[in-house]
Amino acid sequence: MFGGKVIIVTGAAGNVGSALAAHLAAKGARIAAVDMVKARLDSVVGGLAGEGHMALTDYDLLNPSAAEALVAHVVATAGRVDAVGTTVGGFAMAKLADAGLDQWDLMFNLNVKTTWNIYQAAVPAIRRAGGGALVGIASAAGNRGSGEMAAYSATKSAVMRLTESLADELRVDGIRVNAVSPTTIDTPQNRAAMPGADASRWVKPAQIAEVMGFLLSDTASAVSGQLVQVGF
């Protein structure tokens, strides 16, 4: 499905990012895996099917220049960039009186700024490759705010609006832009944080990866500007 395609996966040492990298590699993609957790990233990349994958740990996606350097390195190494699947993000909750601007800055940086920076850096390369796809992660919480989640919900909503805006802007370049909006993800961190919750209905990282993989593929060539909920 992805034979010959070079795909950047950000947050590739994380739960969803590692699942996405594995899914894409199994279908023939060459992965440029990005994360700042070196030991975990090396392990993820070492376990990928196929050859020619890259483990890239020296690029802080909060820095636009670092994102540009990352894309330049991938192009210099692999010759092209066809798509980006970005999974970097974070979650925090608190009442307004307790949160302060620190929480807002943290959520905006992790959820919006990293997505903006990698997209902005990658679009020229994808355009030169003849078009491709960008797929990010929003959240079902971005559809409607709820108590103690103001910063998280607002920044995930920003990812949604960014997705829609770029889909409209980049369609002339043959670049599709979509996002998945998971419900609660079944991760060790969420199980530890919510020990009494019923995790049987939580969405698994591999399920999210499958949907992201579809949106990154040519099979979804007519799909852009969509926010696809994954989970119930």
Q: Annotated catalytic, 152?
A: yes
**Whose structure tokens read 């990233």?**
41
DSSP classification of residue 204: P
Residue 135 has φ and ψ, to the nearest 5°, of -135, 125
Please choose, from the candidates 7, 62, 17, 59, the residue with its C-alpha nearest in 3D space to the C-alpha of residue 40: 17
Please choose, from the candidates 18, 9, 122, 108, the residue with its C-alpha nearest in 3D space to the C-alpha of residue 62: 108
Quote the CA–CA distance of 139 and 153 in Å, as a whole number: 8
Q: Give the CA diameter of the chain.
A: 51
Catalytic residue among 99, 152, 158, 205: 152
Task: Give catalytic residues, as residue numbers.
Answer: 152
